[in-house]
Amino acid sequence: MAKHKQIAILDAGSQFCGQIDRVVHELEVDCDILPINTPVNNLNRYRALIISGGPDSINEPGAKQCDPKIFESGKPVLGICYGMQLIAKYMGGTVSDSGLREDGKTQTEFSTSPLFKNIDSSQQVWMSHGDSVDKLPPGFEIIGGHKNFISAIANDKKLIYGLQFHPEVHNTPRGKNIFNNFLFDIAGVVKDFSAENRLKTCMEEIKEVIGDKHVILYLSGGVDSTVMAVLIAKTLPSPEKIHAYHIDNGFMRAGESTAVALALKNLGVKVNVIRAADKFFNASTLIHGKTTKQLKYIADPQEKRKIIGDCFASIRGDIIHNKSLPADTVLAQGTLRPDIIESGSSLAGTGLDTIKTHHNDTDGIRKLRDESLVVEPLKFLYKDQVRSLGRDLGLPDKMVNRHPFPGPGLAIRIICSDGTMGNRVKLEKSQDNLDKILKNTGVEGDVLPIQTVGVQGDGRTYAYAAVLRCNNPDWHRLSDLSRKITNAKININRVTYGYINKTPAQEPVITYLNHRTTTQLRKADHIVRDIINKDGSKLGINQMPVILAPTSYGKSGQRTIALRPFITPDFMTGEAALPGLGIPAKTINSCVQQLLKLDYISQVLIDLTSKPPGTTEWE
């Protein structure tokens, strides 16, 4: 057993830094995550270093830097994405912006190298970058490449290696083998880590944070909050101090709250349902010292999320007052690692870009954390790990395999708009560039006057969604076109296919959160869920958001439904499930036919976008 941890992961703000930590631990090697600017003198005890990716452009002022002396320390170094670019910059190479992005899966060719031992020369890898190394540092050679991009570099003498792709994510199938080669063959580390029993670790945190205090549990009915509830019930000796609540915020799916209460009751968890739709619709919050409008008048997705999150936090105070509970009553949440990563929380690392504010990581929740009034025993786990923990706890498969449903519910699946196009010149420029890409392809496309949230190069994007139109769609070809469009840096981060071959109205439909729009989406969502549950296709995908978008293809006021069937084990990266490629074509066709019968729907889209560049949800 080594006296100190052998690996230091220098975090440049990557969305995937926790994935590096996870893979290293799965290979039974202990590690620390440290800030990217950690001085080399503080790294002496480590045998090898891994530098993560990050959201910065390396040549921009203020871009994150590491101590250049680490490259002369004699320690083996593996730089990933931005980490590879730091190696190139500090050791005499150059990095530039080619004008193109790479996001999603790419086939790359490997040369013979200790880093790629026992790995075939042609491999699928997962990219997420804008800048690229265009000139090698002295003493380095190219050990991986594709098209005109350098995807891997090496200096075997100095034991320094760089990868432009992400070996830590599941979409790089042989990524774990690359880490294995670096850790054991190149760095010469020994196995020194045995993963502690997750159940024991979670229970210890519950005991430490809650102690003999009262605790309020927020339960959505999903696998995360259910696992958290069962853990707390098994850990705490005083059931009378456990107060479980399901909050119906008015944005739940059809029959959801009743079903949640019944499912939890069957697991031995008594849950109280709070009907709070009006409270949420009328809620506002403080952002940058100013009070927002009420939620029902908000179009901006970040403002919506913050209002909803802070409203959830405020209900804790209502419960304490109404139940005469102590002021130090703890709030329990089923927060996962992807939540705190995408929210840019310091719990997940340093310098993270905020992709989207999660309802369980708003300023109000962070304030409670600072006061040690929040317990989140699952916060360093990913979805697949929580499912495994749920099975260990004896939860039924139906509960463990349940598709995630976001805490804000349908509120973030209704894309809101004040009815104006926004920056017309910017949109028209994106349309011109899209037309150039699609020229002579037999496919036409439109840039929608709405924007969606994306994640590219570890940073947040808020850009247009595009719709492709053609007869007899070839899904492989459309998927390739989607990647080409989002990689082209034309302010488009999401691409869909439209089943109605028409051009949409230029101006978006005025859309806000209210009982009418929520009811419309609830009905459409119920149609889709009923179809995928009955034909069993739900088992082949990990999530299927149904989105109401403010675009019309016909009568004034009609809107669009977008389907987002998605395949991912951990929700950090993933791919669109397309007809015949992850989800049966007959399932999607049935959904489209039934949705177009709704008198308020004039178009159905299917999302072609992987993550990155598009997040799972549109908002």
Q: Active-site residues: which are they?
A: 81, 166, 168
In 3D, which of 150, 177, 176 has the Cα closest to residue 165?
Answer: 150
Q: Please name the amino acid found at residue 395.
A: L
How far, in Å, CA of 513 to CA of 296, rounded?
5
Check whether the bond before 569 is cis (ω within 30° of 0): no
Assign 90 to helix, strand or coil: helix
356 C-beta neighbours (distance < 10 Å), count: 21
Helix (H) or strand (E) holding 257: helix 256-266
What is the 3-class SS of 563-598, one letter each residue?
ECCEECCCCCCEEECEECEEECHHHHHHHHHHHCCC
Cβ 561 vs Cβ 591: under 8 Å = no
In 3D, which of 48, 58, 310 has the Cα closest to residue 185?
Answer: 48
Q: How many CA atoms lie within 13 A of 264 on its CB side?
A: 29
Cβ 215 vs Cβ 241: under 8 Å = yes
In 3D, which of 47, 84, 3 has the Cα closest to residue 184?
Answer: 47
* Residue 286 CB contacts under 8 Å (≥ 6 apart), including other chains: 292
Phi, then psi, of 374 in degrees rounded to 5: -130, 135
Assign 348 to helix, strand or coil: coil
Strands (E), 283-393: 286-287, 290-291, 330-332, 374-375
Number of helices followed by number of strands (H, E) in the chain:
16, 26
The CA-based dihedral angle spanning residues 338, 339, 343, 344, taken in that order and rounded to the nearest 10 degrees: -50
What is the 3-class SS of 22-65, one letter each residue?
HHHHHCCCCEEEEECCCCHHHHCCCCEEEECCCCCCCCCCCCCC
